[in-house]
Structure formats: structure tokens, C-alpha cells
Structure 1
Amino acid sequence: MRSGTAGFLVGAALLTLLALALATVAFGVVATLRMPPPPDEPPPPITRHGRWELRRLPDGTHEYAWIARQAGRFGPETSPETSPETNPGPGRHRIPG
């Protein structure tokens, strides 16, 4: 190699890395600006209520995962008719008659 070739290659490599870094930042800014606005109301809070569910993974193995039930939402194991939050049952918080 000639005397200036190594310096040129190092400079070209650093310039390429700088261009990639600037492109990454530019694409990140564009992606952030294209995101939809956040919803008007926050999602319901996640409670500690839920269930363990055996899930099958894409590779064919299985694992247990905790499926949390969100407040105000009912999964297949409960319904609004049988939930104590919406149906207090006989004698509780009801006016007879």
C-alpha cells in the first residue's frame, strides 16, 4: 500500500459510519412523526386478577403465561351478568320491591 492509502481507508470507514448514524437518526425522527396520536383516554388499569394459561409457541413447545384481566373488561371465564362488580347478588345494595 502507498503511504496515504491506509489513512484514506480509515477515513472512508469513519465517514460511512457517520452517514449510517445520521440516516438512523433521520429515519427514527420520520417514524416518530408518522405515529398516530395517542388515544384520548388511557386504557383500563391491569389488575392482579387473571389466570394461568398453557400456550403453544411457534416452535411447537409449550409454556405457561399469566393472562391478566383488565379492570372493567370480562374474559371468557366471567361475564357482566355473573360478575360481582355489576351484579351484586340478592340482598346487597338493592332496594327490595
Structure 2
Amino acid sequence: MTDFLIGAAFATLLALALATVITGVITALKVGPPPPPITRHGRWELRTSPDGTPEYTWIARQARHFSPETNPYNHRRIPR
């Protein structure tokens, strides 16, 4: 009787471990690839795709082209 209880407990724990791994794999496949890393030369922008779903897109800043919020030359000089 004791051997049966130990075997049942082991089988239950093994089934829970397999269910956890399978759930993790399915979740990882649904999530998809991670977004590209954020660097200081660009910004995230919310865009709408042709099918109507919103998505964030990384907009890279080109050399010497600054948007108003990142323009280093857009500062006021304090008169002396």
C-alpha cells in the first residue's frame, strides 16, 4: 500500500511538472519575439497597421535630423 501511495505521488508531481513546462512553451510561442532594444537614437511611436490593429514601432533618428523633442540645438540662450 505504501509503495502505491509513493508511486501515485511521484506520478502526480511528474504530471504537474510536464504541465508547467508545456504551459510555459505555449505562452512563449504566443508572445512572439521581443521588441528591439531601445537606444538613445530614436523613439517608440504608436502606429496603426493596415488591418486596423495598433502597434508600437521603433523610429530611428537619422544623422543630423532631430525631432523637436530631441533637438540639441533647440535651446534658448540666456542674455547676459
Give the TM-score taking structure 2 as reference length. 0.49
Higher helix share: 2
Larger Rg: 1
